[in-house]
Amino acid sequence: MATVGTRWRTGVAVLSATVLAALGVAPQAQAADTPPSIVVQDGVTQPVFGYADAIRERLFIDSTFDSDNDGLRDIIAFDLMRPAATAQGLKAPVVMDASPYYSTVCRGNESECKADLDGDGLLDKWPLFYDNYFVPRGYAVILLDMVGTNNSTGCPTTNANQDNLSAKQAINWLNGRATARNAAGEIVKADWHNGKTGMIGKSYDGSLAMATAVTGVKGLTTVVPISGPTEYYDYVRSNGVITRGNSYVSSLANTVTNPERRDYCKPVRDAIGVADGDEHGDYTSFWNERSYVKKVPNVTASVLLYHGLNDDNVRPDHFSKFWYALAENNVPRKLWLSQEGHVDPFDSRRAVWVSTLHRWFDFWLQGVANGIMDEPRVDLERSADVWETHADWPIPGKADTEVFLQPGTTGAGGLGLVPTAKPATGAFQDSRTQSQNTMILNPDVVQPNRLAFLSEPLSAPLHISGTPTVQLRASADQTDTNLGAILVDYGTDERVAHRASGEGIITLTTEDCWGQSSPTDDGCYKQTAKRVATADYELVTKGIMDAQNRQSIRVAVPLVPGESYNFSFPLLPEDYVFKPGHRIGVIIVASYPQYSSQADTTAANLQVALKSSNIVLPVVGGTAAAHAAGL
């Protein structure tokens, strides 16, 4: 440590002066006995600390759990980088990305893995830009290996308690409630820590951030979940329908396990496969520990939430349910919604995202009064690179508006704000092989395996914001069937091509840099551009359910053939504007193979009572706006 301290005194002081001069800030004289501190200009911390000479450590914590049932508590490993100035008294907060991916799938658009290039047990290559950018600004960065991955012991459990509690071990250590050791077995204390930690991460990493937040652990000050699952049931199921089957949960555990440990961890995966309920798709106790929404009342951290509205991997109902719960519990929060799929904001709106993230962490972790919480709560991408801000989401002024299914004389049925005057029935037969394109295309043509309903061309824009719901009165001639619904915008327009390769972005060959570099690690990443395409229609949102789960996702109750029931199920949340001249389409199907992994086998014939069936749209402006649009 003496050597590190000397390096800081001789190196960072010069760097500080150079950087501050470049910024037009005069370096402040500092007494020899005054500890170093951050420098703030224009409401943000400045890069006045070194990166190449930052302190790098790999530490190990005995956890509170035993995921592999070997009689020993699992050891959680993490890599830590902090400014050399922390050895001279700088108190630094932590930015942490807990992940299962650091040695397998790896991180970011360029799939960066952790790398110890010289074999000294310390990282030389750190994935992502957080270390390059934030360490010079007075932060420490932790990249934590989730239980059973990379340098941590145990076995992954796919968002069960052992996964969920992995990062909590490090936060407890940072705040003096746990013991960490280095590779030599020496106890290491976080006496440089300022008591505040922020967690960030995309996808699985984002779920780990939320999982840690809902424990209410003291010292976790803010979380930035990016496209992360919040209800693991919803990741592999939807209203009783299996969307990812064939032991997907255990397969994911296998994917993130280091290859040399996969045989060892097979008993843990086998136990997951037995308990996951692939044979029925109902909600069981297996999913309780993989549920974060119901635990939001425990959250004491602020939340900056990001999600792609067209994410078909971690679908948008994950952000919406969590967001609704945050609002109910008055958690300080902000939200970004993009038009892309499963894409990191660093690769969709890079400069603005880095600036926002910088200000967010400065406010919550460094105590910088920069006004970020006084700004609009929501940033929303309306079209490619066209962003709006709003006071909240759903957009204030939205009202749930019933739009009824109307019979048609030929071809498609209609849509209207009042139910049909006379009883009418729509009939179709389930097809387990019907493609999504067949469901959507040619809506004016009668087809045997769907019902299609079209509005007249709109006379004014119609903006929906929130979670639509389909309400059907229907019967089937079998004891079981699935139900599906699709909301479609029929109208030619240029849109983000989120279903194409890249999920809405194109990776370019040019790079830009975010932060400082060392000889083995730079903060430079390939730039991206939006991928757009012109099409005659857009699948706006969709939803499915198992008719046997009409009362509860916990209990399946068979249908009585020929008996009519009320079925109600949500579509995925959306924020979408139907333009004038476009037509709104509602497609009703039974099996939906491109949404579910196990289509129903009954080939049921269904009858829908149109007078009692509708779609409830969250229309901004409510019924008046729907009338104005010509519904």
Catalytic center residues: 203, 311, 342
Between strands 469-476 and 462-466, the pairing is unpaired
- Concatenated DSSP letters of 549-609: GSS-SS---PPPTT--EEEEEEPPPEEEEEPTT-EEEEEEES--TTT-SS--SS--EEEEE
Please list, in sequence order, all residues whose beta carbon lies within 8 angstroms of the beta carbon of residue 429, skipping any fewer than 6 positions away: 448, 449, 590, 603, 604, 605, 606
Asked if residue 393 lies in contact with residue 323, where contact means CB atoms within 8 angstroms, the answer is: yes
Beta bridge partners of 197: 94, 220
Please list, in sequence order, all residues whose beta carbon lies within 8 angstroms of the beta carbon of residue 122, skipping any fewer than 6 positions away: 56, 57, 58, 79, 116
> What is the distance between the alpha carbons of residues 509 and 104, in angstroms, rounded to a whole number?
24
> What is the distance between the alpha carbons of residues 609 and 623, in angstroms, rounded to a whole number?
23
How does DSSP classify residue 151? T
> What is the distance between the alpha carbons of residues 250 and 156, in angstroms, rounded to a whole number?
9
| Neighbour tally for 151: CB within 10 Å | 20
**Residue among 459, 471, 491 nearest 584 (CA):** 491
CA-CA-CA-CA dihedral for 391, 397, 402, 406, to nearest 10 = -90
Burial per residue of 367-395, b for 16 or more beta-carbon CB atoms within 10 angstroms, e otherwise = ebebebeeeeebbbbeebeeeeebeebbb
Asked if residue 331 lies in contact with residue 214, where contact means CB atoms within 8 angstroms, the answer is: no
Distances in whole angstroms, Cα of residue 29 to Cα of each of 16, 35, 85, 282, 518: 11, 12, 16, 66, 28
> What is the distance between the alpha carbons of residues 626 and 315, in angstroms, rounded to a whole number?
27
Please list, in sequence order, all residues whose beta carbon lies within 8 angstroms of the beta carbon of residue 78, skipping any fewer than 6 positions away: 58, 59, 61, 96, 142, 143, 144, 145, 170
> What is the distance between the alpha carbons of residues 405 and 453, in angstroms, rounded to a whole number?
7
**Residue among 626, 627, 628, 605 nearest 617 (CA):** 626
Asked if residue 179 lies in contact with residue 62, where contact means CB atoms within 8 angstroms, the answer is: yes
Between strands 180-181 and 187-188, the pairing is antiparallel
Helices (H), 223-382: 232-236, 248-256, 266-275, 317-328, 350-361
Asked if residue 104 lies in contact with residue 256, where contact means CB atoms within 8 angstroms, the answer is: yes
Residue linked to tokens 């992940």 = 99
